Amino acid sequence: MNIFERFMEIDRRWIFLAIGIAVIIPFFFPLGLPVVVTEPVQNLYDALDEIPPNGQPLLLAIDYAPATLPELEPMSLALLRHAFSNDVNVAVLTLHPAGYGLAERAMNQVAEEMGQVYGEDYCFLGFQPGISAVILGMGVNIRNVFPEDAYGTPLSEIPILDGVRNYDDIPLLISLAGWSAAEAWVYYAHQPYGQDVGAGVTAVMATDFYPYLDTGQLVGLLGGMRGAAEYEGLIDHHDAGVRGMDSQSVIHILIIILIVLGNIAYFGARRKKREQERNAA
């Protein structure tokens, strides 16, 4: 067995160890590499930027569960920071039963950081079970589905929701989800009611959403931690997204090096095999 063959059959635990080390190192030695903004992110940024201040609210559906938190929470924070710094009102809700605490956490963190007042700048509608039924119901009247906010206040007593009846009064809706919720908003809010929908999804889901961008069913898209990092760049507030990108760089390069080494070993081993065959013949 020559070195190539041995490398071909390398115990994959060495690969695991290399990945483990590669992800930890940038936590201690940040690289701070610049992030290039892509078009779907820019489009979402522009759509939010065009919402008139202190008027009809942005509807932010924080639909993620804990499993996709590291990718999607930086998006929530960046979007909320952008909205609040433009004085855009925000109504937050969630369609995921496990999303309640996460939505509240992101909302409260940014609201506190930027001195926003509950009810006058933002509000939290909470969770309602049933995905399509909730989305379709809101198209008729939001109050049918959410008669009161998450803390029991009737919606009519929340100033920023004054005069907000259904999607006609929502300039933009953004769903952040690691599952099919973002698609459900497209199907049940955009399709029947023409609501402008933007989405933030995990990087793996982003590929599924490209067709929707192309057909105009989505106004913009944030894909994974990278999307969050780009948005953080646009609003000039670097956070977990940009920090995580350093670890990403290192691991991506590591995997590519592994693939290249694997191929060198593959061809090396194949050549040796051929030589042996020739010698045998």
In the complex, least distance from residue 87 CB atom to other proteins, rounded to whole angstroms: 13
In the complex, least distance from residue 73 CB atom to other proteins, rounded to whole angstroms: 9
In the complex, least distance from residue 134 CB atom to other proteins, rounded to whole angstroms: 10
The residue from 5, 42, 43, 100 that contacts other proteins (CB under 8 A) is: 100
Alpha helices in the chain (DSSP H): 3-8, 12-28, 39-49, 69-85, 100-113, 131-140, 142-145, 181-185, 191-193, 203-214, 224-234, 240-280
C-alpha 243, offset from chain centre: 15
- Name the residue nearer to other proteins (CB basis): 210 or 271: 210
> Rounded distance, CA 230 to CA 222, Å?
9
Contacts of 30 (CB under 8 A, 6+ apart): 243, 246
Residues 113-142 that bind other proteins (CB under 8 A): 129-130, 132-133, 136
- Name the residue nearer to other proteins (CB basis): 122 or 281: 122
- Name the residue nearer to other proteins (CB basis): 19 or 114: 19
**C-beta separation of 63 from 180 below 8 A:** no
Other CB atoms within 10 A of residue 70 CB: 15
> Rounded distance, CA 56 to CA 138, Å?
15
- Name the residue nearer to other proteins (CB basis): 133 or 279: 133
The residue from 4, 41, 51, 56 that contacts other proteins (CB under 8 A) is: 56
User: Does 203 engage in binding with other proteins (CB under 8 A)?
Assistant: yes
* CA nearest to 66, candidates 106, 17, 118: 106
User: Does 52 engage in binding with other proteins (CB under 8 A)?
Assistant: yes
Q: CA dist 217 to 4, 58, 93, 167, 220, Å? A: 50, 18, 21, 15, 9
Residues 12-51 that bind other proteins (CB under 8 A): 12-13, 15-16, 18-20, 23-24, 27-28, 31, 33-36, 38-39
- Name the residue nearer to other proteins (CB basis): 69 or 281: 69
Binding residue count for other proteins, defined by CB under 8 A? 88
Residues 160-189 that bind other proteins (CB under 8 A): 160, 162-166, 168-169, 179, 186-187
The residue from 113, 120, 208, 275 that contacts other proteins (CB under 8 A) is: 208
The residue from 3, 46, 154, 159 that contacts other proteins (CB under 8 A) is: 159
Q: Tally the residues of the chain.
A: 281
The residue from 204, 271, 273, 275 that contacts other proteins (CB under 8 A) is: 204
Residues 70-99 that bind other proteins (CB under 8 A): 70-71, 97-98
User: Does 154 engage in binding with other proteins (CB under 8 A)?
Assistant: no
Residues 217-256 as x/- pattern, contact with other proteins by CB under 8 A:
x-----xxxx-------------x---xxxxxxxxxxxxx
* CA nearest to 246, candidates 35, 14, 20, 21: 35
3-class SS at 149?
Answer: coil
3-class SS at 222?
Answer: strand
